Each structure stands twice: as C-alpha cells, then as structure tokens.
Chains A and B, each alone.
Chain A
C-alpha cells in the first residue's frame, strides 16, 4: 500500500511535469512542425492516411467539382493559407467535413447534397479551416493526453485508498473534460469561420439556415432514437447545443448587411452529381430524411426528372401504406422531364407490371431499352417482354 501511494505521488509529479501546454498559437502559412514534436507525429499519421486516401475508392476525382470546392476554400481561407491545404471530395452520404492538422480537408458529398448555396458551404469550410489554423487537433491531442494521465492518477489513488467506485468517477471526469473541450473548440470554429466567410463577402445569415435545415431533416428521420439523441445533446456531444449554435449564428448575422449566396453557381456545379448523391443517400434507408431532402430540392423547381425519380425510389423502398401507388405516380411524372434517367422507365415498367398492367409495362420497358441499349439488366427485361408479349 505504501509503495502504491509513493508510486502515485511519483507518477503525479511526472504527469504534472510532462503536462503538455494546450495554449498554442495559430499556425503560420507555409509552416510545418519541428520533427521532434508531438505535432510532427500527428502530421506524420495524417500524411500516411492521406497517402491511402489518394487511392481510396471513396474519392471523388472529378476535376471540375474539386476545383470548384477548392476555389471556395481559397476564397474563405485566403490564397496564402490555401496553398497549405489539400481538399478531397469524399463520396459519403453524410453531412460532414473533416480537417486534419497537416492541411488535409475532406468534404463529404452528403454535405454538398444538403448545402443550398455557396454561402452555406463556405461557412462549413471556414469552420474547418479554423480547426486547421488554430491547430485544434494538437490542442485536442494534448488535452486528451493530459486527461488520460490525470485519470490514471485518480484511479491509482482510488485503488490505493480502496475505493473502487471512485476510479470510474475519475475516468468519467476525464472523459467529459475531453469532450467539453471539443465543444469549446467547435464554438471557436463557428465564430471564426463565420468571420472568414463574411469577410469574403458571403451572406452570414446562411450559416444558421444550414443548421436549421439539418435540424428539420433529423426531425423527419425514420429513427426515433436518432431524433431523441439529437434533441438531448448531452454533455458528451462534442458540438455545441444546436439551439444555442443557431441562436449565436443568427445573432452574429443580424447586424450585417446580406452578402452573396451564389445559389445558381452552386446548383450548376453540383447538378452533374445530384443523381448519384441521391442514390447514395437512399442506401442509408432513412426514408423520412431521404424524402425530406428530396422534397426540399423539388421546391427549387430544377432537375425534376432526377428528383421525382429519387422520390419514387424512396417510396418504393419504404413500401408503406399507399407508397407503391405514390411511387408509380412519381415515376410517371419523372419520365415527363428531359433529365429523367433511363432507369426511370424501367422502374415505371416494374410498377405497372406489379399492378398487372402488362402492356403498359412492356411499352415502358421498350423505351428503357431504346434509351439504354447497353443496360446491364437487358436480358431480364427482354425475357419479360418475350414471355408476356405472346399473352398480349
């Protein structure tokens, strides 16, 4: 017991002595850390990750889209910092972007699908850039390291004192310190990101709108559990409480004159990917959220063939009461627009076939095969036409 107590003090002294400072200055342009530092270790890991990311199946390699997103980052971060950043568009259907200490930024396609204009995207990019500039990864790492050492201290002390329960308390405190710190940094990233975006001439009011849209989407979720978690936002959630966040951003925007939104540029740049991103989003199988998003995009009045097809797909997959009838109507509607994908005809054929309208189905299938002679399911479709044309 005595040894343990001594040990505890010994470790305590060492832990305190080696307590890493979380008070770090913003990174300068063109800077990279000294090779002997903990920061260099973080960079090295991310360099390795980045090497793998470059050959990952998830990477969106389209040059035009990458150039477009990079242009906005440079607008927000300034051309000097922009040279230190490498931006990757990643095909993941979730609302997210990430920033690594070495200048690697990931922009997920789920974010690009949900942002309504450049100003909204720019805000997220400004937020991520702040994580980089203010070296938040390093701060977080040091905070975590210090917390882990402190937690060790508490648990050894508690073990020595024979109080088992207290050791759990130790790790709990350490954990919430870790997560609480995360929330502070997120707040800082919101504030500074907002400043960068408005300085670049973007409409600051869009920052809050982006979050309001996200809240509304989650409210529409199929998952009660997800809705509950989102509403609760416990001490362990690393982002600031959403309500508080929206209010703060609205407050910041209130005194500013409206800036640019560049909605048409945004729609133009993302339009070629809309069909693919909606397909990817459907794999999540959260039909409430899927349909919320699709309906919101339909309001825009653009690319309606793509959007009504996606809506029909969500309804067909959900198969709720009356969904199949609504799906058939949406497929039919999609085919009236020039941007409808060829597969909308296949799906319309399926819908008609399902309700017994064989000749209607055959007509739709034939249009499908005309529009897409190299269809991967050609043999199956032809097989249906062949077997049922005789009956008709």
Chain B
C-alpha cells in the first residue's frame, strides 16, 4: 500500500517537528487582499479526515466510525464558527463532468504540500523570500458554479488515539527513564482560497494534544478554534 505513504509521511513529519501540545502556524498572503466581507459565501471543499487507533506496537489502524464522527463534529463546528460572524457556508459538490475541478483540487494539494514544506517546515526557497504569493490562478472560478461563493476553504485532518496497551507502555517506559512513545495526537491544516484570483490568502497548521479530541463535541470546539486561528474573518483579520 505504498500509495498511503504520503499521508503516513506527512503525519509522521508533523509529529516529529511540531510539539505535542496545542500549536498553530499561520501563513498569510503577501498579495493585495481585501478582508472578507461579513456576508461572504465560503465554499467548504470536501474535508480530508482520517482517524486511527494507535496500537501498542505503534501501528495505526484506521477507524471508520471515529472518522465519520470526527468529520461530522468538525464540520458542524466550522459552520457554527463562521456562521457566528455572518458568513454563509456552502458545501462543495464535485461535478464529475468537469475535469478542471479535479485539476484544481489536485493543484491545491500540490500547492499546499509546497507551502507546508517551505513555510511550516522552513525549507529554504530564496526565490520567494518575504513573499507568500502562492495561488491556484483564476481557473478557480470554475469551482464557483451556482454557489456564488467568494472563497473556498480546504481542510485536512489526521488523528491517532492510543490503545490501553500503548498507554501502559508509554507510562511504563517513562517510569523506567525511557521515552519517545507517543500516545497519539491530532494534526490539521486548512487553507482559504480567493475564488476570484485563486490566491491562497490564509494557511494554517495546527497540532493539538489533550482536550481537543475531535471525536467529542467539546474537543472539536477547541480543535476548530485552533484550526481557524488567524482566519481573516473580518476587516483587518483577527
């Protein structure tokens, strides 16, 4: 199953380079950008969520039920969060007849990966010194369709939760002076795309630990707050 390696690598690297407690890193566009109007329509792209059980040996077992619950919780929470500011949230429905939509979603994945690599992991890219002008280009207008959306919100989230066996192991090794056995955590990144220019106007990576379990409603409240930190909600952003 080598096709899973990208996700696995991504999760492993996030784990390795970001601390276990709640932390976020935001990248904002350096292009001209008008703050989101209060009544803006935000197109929510199909979120990519996957939650797993972290076994004693460290193997991750995807749990379909947790994934379903986690995704639903996070969606409801995002809707509440944005709705509170008067924004309208519309879920994107992929038009299978429009191959360009697929291309734009794939391009977003490539751009998101690049942004993560050079900005969050801080790999040097001197050609973009002091510049965050990554874009998907004006082709994104094809995503608007009938929705009249102004922005598109992309979300990617992974979570792993330890079994009892792994928790015993972690505690035991910690007592014995050993360490390095994680008991699971969550990583997420989100990006906001201007549907006129295609510019990625805001990008945020969040890694969260205890108390933000997205399988539970109160946990997802905290998690979404972390994911949407710095989200340019109104004039000047927050």
Question: In the complex they form, do A and B come into direct contact, defined as C-beta atoms under 8 angstroms apart?
Answer: yes
A: which residues have CB within 8 A of B?
1, 3-4, 6-7, 10-11, 14-15, 18, 35-38, 40-45, 48-49, 52, 55, 141, 144-145, 148-149, 151-152
- Does B9 count as interface, using CB distance less than 8 angstroms? no
CA distance A4 to B68 in the complex (A): 38
| A14 vs B163: C-alpha distance when bound (angstroms) | 10
A interface footprint on B53-76 (CB within 8 Å = 1, 0 otherwise): 001111101111101100000000
Which partner residue on chain B sits nearest A41 by CB separation?
B62
Measured between alpha carbons, how far is A7 from B68 in the docked complex, in Å?
A: 34
B67 close to A44 (CB less than 8 A) = yes
Contact call B65/A35, Cβ cutoff below 8 A: yes
Residues of A within 8 A of B164 (CB): 14
Any chain A CB within 8 A of the CB of B84?
no
Instruction: Write the chain B residue with the least CB distance to A39.
Output: B64
Number of A-B contacts (CB under 8 A): 83
In the docked arrangement, what's the CA distance between A44 and B60, Å?
14
A144 — which chain B residues lie within 8 A by C-beta? 59
A42 to B64, CA, bound (A): 8
Nearest-neighbour CB distance to chain A for B206, whole angstroms, equals 22
- Asked if B3 is at the interface (CB within 8 A of a chain A CB), the reply is yes
Determine whether the beta carbon of A7 is less than 8 Å from that of B172.
yes
Tell me how far the C-beta of B64 lies from the nearest C-beta in chain A, rounded to whole angstroms. Answer: 4
Chain B window 147-180, contacts with chain A (Cβ cutoff 8 Å), 1 for yes, 0 for no: 0000000000000000111001100110110000
A15 close to B165 (CB less than 8 A): yes
Provide the bound-state CA to CA distance between A43 and B63, in Å. Answer: 10
A100's nearest neighbour on chain B, judged by CB, is B1
**Chain A residues whose C-beta falls within 8 Å of the C-beta of B55 in the assembled complex:** 145, 148-149
CB <8 Å contact, B176 and A15: no
Nearest to A14 among chain B residues (CB) is B165
> Are B64 and A35 in contact, with the CB atoms below 8 A?
yes
Tell me the complex Cα distance, A268–B21, Å.
62
Instruction: Assess whether B52 is interfacial by the CB under 8 Å rule.
Output: yes
The one of B1, B56, B102 in contact with A11, judged by C-beta atoms closer than 8 angstroms, is B56
Distance (whole angstroms) from the CB of A216 to the closest CB of chain B: 29
Interface residue ranges of B93-138 to A (CB < 8 Å): 99, 102, 106
B4 on interface, CB distance cutoff 8 Å: yes
A41 touches B64 (CB 8 A): yes
CB <8 Å contact, A148 and B165: no
Residues of A within 8 A of B58 (CB): 148, 152
Q: Give the Cβ gap from A2 to chain B, nearest Cβ, in Å.
A: 9
Question: Is the pair A4, B172 in contact by a Cβ cutoff of 8 Å?
Answer: yes
Contact A148 B64 (CB under 8 A): no
Whether B59 lies near A148 (C-beta < 8 A) is: yes
A3 close to B175 (CB less than 8 A):
yes
A143, chain B: closest CB distance, angstroms: 12
A45 cross-chain contacts in B, Cβ below 8 A: 1, 4, 50, 62
CA distance in complex: A43, B67 (Å): 12
Candidates B52, B57, B67; contact of A148 at CB < 8 Å:
B57
From B4, which residue of chain A is reached at the shortest CB distance?
A: A45
A-B contact sample (13 more), CB < 8 A, given A14-B165, A15-B165:
A7-B172, A14-B164, A35-B68, A37-B64, A41-B61, A41-B63, A43-B64, A52-B3, A55-B102, A55-B106, A145-B55, A149-B56, A151-B57
